Amino acid sequence: MPERTPDGRYIVVNGRRWRASDPGLSPERRDELVHELMEARRAVKAALNAGDATAEQRARARVHQAKVDLGERGTPWWEKPRH
């Protein structure tokens, strides 16, 4: 488990801060999103290996969306209203 900042908003990897995933996600939802993120990253690699710029663009959009859904990009999860 990576080190977290005292406020829990960031993890620290090799001295660099990265936004932590939203702790409010259910374990099942988090697992779904992590699976999608890994699939999308594999799709980026495959597109790069194939030299397919269109597929790469689509795969990178999937990576971005998965990270937004995890709370690692976009509006910080601690600033979003909870329902």
pLDDT of residue 2: 87
Kindly list the domain boundaries of the chain, sorted by start residue: 25-83
CA distance 65 to 39: 12
pLDDT of residue 34: 98
Burial 52-81 (b: 16+ CB within 10 A, else e): eeeebeebeebbebbbebbbbeeeebeeee
pTM equals 0.88
List the chain pLDDT tens, one digit each, 83 residues: 889 999 999 999 999 999 999 999 999 999 999 999 999 999 999 999 999 999 999 999 999 999 999 999 999 999 988 76
pLDDT of residue 83: 61
